[in-house]
Amino acid sequence: MFILNWYVTKNFLATFFMAIVVLTFAMTGANLMKVIEYISQGIPPLIAGKFLLLALPMALAFSIPWAALVSIMLVFGRMSADNEITAMRACGISILQIISPIIVSSFLLSCLCLWLQLQVGPPALGDARDLVKSAAANSPLAFFTPGIPVQLGDLTFFIDSKDSEGNEDHIYGVQIYLPDKDGTTKQDILASRGTLSVDSASQVLTVTLYDALVETVEGSGKDRRKEHSFSESVELRVPFGDRYNQKDVFIKDKYLAYKGLFARLAIYLKRGKDAAGVDATAINVEINQRIALALAPIAFMMLGMPLAIRTSRRETSIGLCLSVALGALYYGGVLVSDALRYNPQFYPQFVVWIPPLLFQLFGVIYLTKIARK
């Protein structure tokens, strides 16, 4: 039995590790694009890399269940197609003995996902967000994106391009608007180029513009007129702390570990049922979603394994298509419950459990049928 169990476990783990590398890379694709964008904006590569590492636990929390499903579908589909399962059962080995290593592996993977979903992943995701905000406050170029208006203080900036040479940061094709109280433009500044420097202590960005044309609106009503002036250099001091360097007093639910979630839920419930309805339901949805997602490896094992055995196909494409279909159904319940998060009358905290329960039910039925053959 040890040789048999090791054979099944070895095949499962080999496929699982390949699947998790591919799926994790795919799920972190958006974060990789953000890292490249942050580096292009002047944020140090070390900070951008740290951001990617902080976002990795949540990516793993989603890729681990899917990798387990893909591995189960591929391994048991191949074993069934090669009649290995039939040969094992002909030797008197029960289906439960054959799948016992996968049951243990699925349980261990669910425990790992619980740890990632409830304790590690959400706070790390919040730290990643705060890391980027604090890094932007020390990287002047990170404030500006070519072709996109940027609001800093009372000023709106447009730039055509930017670069960094040595310790100097440069912006080119600069246009700056200063609005009036009535919403019209009070001052419009055009400059061919400019340099940036930041004072982190006072949270002030200094923008020095060269070859600047300044258009200022004077007077009001019929006396309103525009005056133009040219200057070889104009220096603007812009406070940026309000936008980039403030800490949120209220942490969003998705960034809290399980202790914070339960503490917040207890506070809401103390208000009474009527006062706490929407807020308490949203917290309950968050908690139930995390637990349901963490238990996905077990649900995927229960339904994926008998489907793989019954399909009896060696083709990788069949296993992958079934994996995508099952994963979409499972995560569909999470999406529906999330859409109903602020509608207590629909009990969204229970909606998320419909796919797991169905997966378990049909899995038990299919496994029982296979075992009786």
Question: What per-residue confidence (pLDDT) applies to 166?
Answer: 65
Q: Sorting pLDDT into bands at 50, 70 and 90, what band is 341?
A: confident
| Residue 255 tokens, joined | 């960034």
Residue 332 predicted with pLDDT over 70: yes
Please provide the average confidence, as pLDDT, over all residues in the chain.
80
The pLDDT confidence band at residue 148, using thresholds 50, 70 and 90, is confident
- The pLDDT of residue 200 is 66
Determine, yes or no, domain membership for 245: no
Q: Are residues 301 and 223 in the same domain?
A: no
Q: Are residues 315 and 208 in the same domain?
A: no
**Which distant-in-sequence residues (6+ apart) come within 8 Å of 198 by Cβ?**
137, 138, 139, 140, 204, 205, 206, 240
Residue 291: pLDDT band with limits 50, 70, 90? very high
Boundary-marking domain end, from 216, 239, 262: 239
The H-or-E segment that residue 205 falls in is strand 204-218
**What pLDDT band is residue 344 in, cutting at 50, 70 and 90?**
confident
pLDDT at 327 over 90: no
Counting every residue written for the chain, the total comes to 373
- Domain assignment present for residue 149? The answer is no
Residue 248 has pLDDT above 60, yes or no: no
238 φ/ψ angles, rounded to the nearest 5 degrees: -120, 120
Mean pLDDT of 149-159: 82
* Domain coverage including residue 76: 2-136+250-372
Partner residues linked to 217 by β-bridges: 226
Identify whether residues 270 and 366 lie together within a single domain.
Answer: yes
Q: Among 196, 213, 239, where does a domain finish?
A: 239
Residues 80, 224, single domain; the answer is: no
| 9-38 confidence digits (pLDDT tens) | 888 888 899 989 888 888 777 777 767 766
- Residue 148 included in any domain: no
Report percent pLDDT > 90 for the chain. 8
Confidence of residue 136 (pLDDT cuts 50, 70, 90): low
Rounded CA-CA distance 83/35 in Å is 47
Q: According to the model, what pLDDT value does residue 50 have?
A: 84
- Identify residue 285 by its one-letter amino acid code: V
Determine the average pLDDT of the residues in 110-135: 85
Contacts of 221 (CB under 8 A, 6+ apart): none
**pLDDT value of residue 326:** 79
Task: Clarify whether residues 230 and 274 are in a common domain.
Answer: no
Q: What string of DSSP letters covers 146-181?
A: TTS-EEETTEEEE-SEEEEETTEEEEEEEEEEEE-T
Mean local confidence (pLDDT), 192-209: 80
Between 117 and 78, where is the model more confident? 117
Q: Is there a contact between 268 and 329 (Cβ–Cβ < 8 Å)?
A: no
| Distances, alpha carbon 190 to alpha carbons 3, 28, 141, 177, 209, in Å | 77, 40, 19, 9, 9
Residue 265 has pLDDT above 70, yes or no: yes
Residues 218 and 353 in one domain: no
Is 198 in a helix, a strand, or coil? strand
Same domain, 123 and 173: no
Which CATH number covers residue 219?
2.60.450.10
End-to-end alpha carbon distance in the chain: 21
Whether residue 109 is predicted with pLDDT greater than 90 in this model: the reply is: yes
- 229 and 367 share one domain: no
Is 141 contained in some domain?
no
The average pLDDT across 135-147 equals 69
Same domain for 293 and 271: yes
Q: What is the pLDDT of residue 303?
A: 82
Q: Is 146 part of any domain?
A: no
CA angle 178/180/183 to nearest 5° reads 105
Among candidates 289, 309, 283, which has minimal Cα distance to 366? Answer: 309
pLDDT of residue 115: 94
Kindly indicate the confidence band of residue 1, based on its pLDDT and cuts at 50, 70 and 90: low
Pull the structure tokens for residue 366: 């299919």
Q: What is the mean pLDDT of residues 168-183?
A: 81
- Predicted confidence band at 140 (pLDDT cuts at 50, 70, 90)? low
Residue-level pLDDT at 315: 52
Residue 345, both tokens? 């009358």
- Tally the domains of the chain: 2
Q: Which range in 222-231, 257-266, 320-329 is most confidently predicted, on average pLDDT? A: 257-266
Question: Across the strands, what pairs with 165?
Answer: 168
Same domain, 96 and 158: no
Q: Examine residue 93 and state whether it is found in any structural domain, yes or no.
A: yes
CB-based contact 311:303 (threshold 8 Å): no
Give the integer Cα–Cα distance in Å for 276 and 217.
Answer: 52
Reported pTM: 0.70
- C-beta atoms surrounding 176 within 10 Å: 23
**Does one domain contain both 224 and 177?**
yes
C-alpha–C-alpha distance, residues 284 and 142, integer Å? 37
What is the structure's pLDDT at 311?
67
pLDDT at 325 exceeding the cut of 70: yes
Do 119 and 257 contact (CB within 8 A), yes or no? yes
Has residue 145 been placed in a domain?
no
Count of C-beta atoms within a 10 Å radius of residue 36: 11
Give the domain-ending residue among 181, 205, 239: 239
Domain co-membership, 8 together with 107: yes
- For residue 239, pLDDT over 60 is answered with yes
Residues 61/295, Cβ–Cβ less than 8 Å = no
What is the predicted pLDDT for the residue at 183?
65
pLDDT band for position 133 (cuts 50, 70, 90): low
Half-sphere exposure for 272 (CA within 13 Å, toward CB) = 2
Reply yes or no on whether the pLDDT at 301 is more than 80. Answer: yes
Residue 108 has what pLDDT?
A: 93
DSSP-H helix ranges across the chain: 2-27, 29-40, 45-81, 84-90, 95-115, 121-137, 241-244, 258-270, 273-294, 296-311, 316-339, 348-351, 354-372
Burial 222-239 (b: 16+ CB within 10 A, else e): eeeeeeeeeeeebebebe
Closest CA to 197 of 187, 205, 188, 189: 205
